[in-house]
Structure formats: structure tokens, C-alpha cells
Amino acid sequence: MIAVIDYGVGNLFSVQKAFSYLGADAKITSDERDMVSAEKLVLPGVGAFGDCMNNLEATGLIPVLKSEIEKGKPLLGICVGLQILFDGSEESPGAKGLGIISGRIKKINAPTLKVPHIGWNSLEVRAPRQRNDLFAGVSQSSYVYFVHSYHAVPDDGSVITATTEYGEKLTAAVALGNVQATQFHPEKSGDVGLKIIKNFIEVQS
């Protein structure tokens, strides 16, 4: 079973529907027992960084989430679910992130373009460096769907697995060990997004 973590934010049903379409047993849940028994975790998120962290803290699920990650359980973060893996964000200066990946979330610097960055954009996928590559079989310059005003700036750039261009080079995906995350929405990204989700379903612990 794949646990789609419900903490009051995120495209939960769209995410679950995409996993189910590919034959995975995906369950929307806020029960820590499901998170412990699940083979994999999905951490979605939409809205403001601070609101997402406040909601997640209110559920009391952060300790079990961190514990399962430390045990090596695969996790996929989506959109703000990527951002809250980091230490903090310019969007919500007083809010602490999960601190699973070192770095901060910064406002997109695109003075000649509209922010938020909304719509389809192409990916520059970096060469895979791990066994469970989220982008295996995904062609260079494939298009995926974004909705965001902020992006991740990791302390260690080697965790970036894909970028996109929008006024500047933006972090589109990251990976650190068993944790992988996309700034874009794979569940809204057509066949390319389904391939990325399928790759996560097939991740081996």
C-alpha cells in the first residue's frame, strides 16, 4: 500500500487517482498506523509553505514521517510537498521546514515574466545517479505542469535531479537517498507524469 498523507492540503484525490490508474493500492490517510505499514509515502502540498507546515504539525504526524524516512521508506514529495522537505522558505520566514534536505525555498526571480509560474514547461533531466531514478525512460525536454511562485535552492546542488527555465534556472526535482520530490505536478502532467509516478511505484527499498 502507498500512503498519500492527508494533512488538509494538497491534490489528494488527483494524486490517488493517478496511482490507482497505474494499478497501485494508494490510500489517502492521516493515520500514523497506515504510514508505518505502507510500503511507500506520498507527501503532496499546495498553498503557502507556512500553512502547510502548520497543518502538518497539527496532525502530529511529523515524528512518524521522519522516523519512516530514516528507516529508508521511499517518499515522493509533490509541489509544496517538495518545499517543506527543506529548512525554510522566503514565503513564510517564521516557519521551519522538515529539514530533511538542507537549503531554503526562494522566490522565483523572473522580472519580465508573470509569477506564479503556471503551466507547461520543459525539463532538463540530469543524469541519474541512483538505482531508483524517478526519470528513467523520461525524454530530455519533456513537458510537465507547474504551479508555483517559489523554488528550492539546496545547499548541495547535487541533490537536484531536474531543472526548468523560467526567468532563471529553477529546481524542478530533487532526490536524496530514499526521498524524491517534484516541484511540478506529475498527476497533472499527462503521460510523462504517469511515467514518473510509475517509476516511483516501482522503486525498490
Dist. CA 28–CA 61, nearest whole Å: 14
Long-range CB contacts (within 8 A, 24+) of 197-200: 197/18, 197/19, 197/22, 198/22, 199/132, 199/133, 199/134, 199/135, 199/136, 199/137, 199/138, 200/40, 200/74, 200/76, 200/134
Dist. CA 129–CA 42, nearest whole Å: 22
Cβ atoms of 201 and 194 within 8 Å: the answer is: no
SS3 205: coil
For the question of residue 187 being annotated catalytic, the response is yes
Q: Write down the catalytic residue from 79, 91, 148, 151.
A: 79
Cβ atoms of 87 and 71 within 8 Å: the answer is: no
Q: Which residues are catalytic?
A: 79, 185, 187
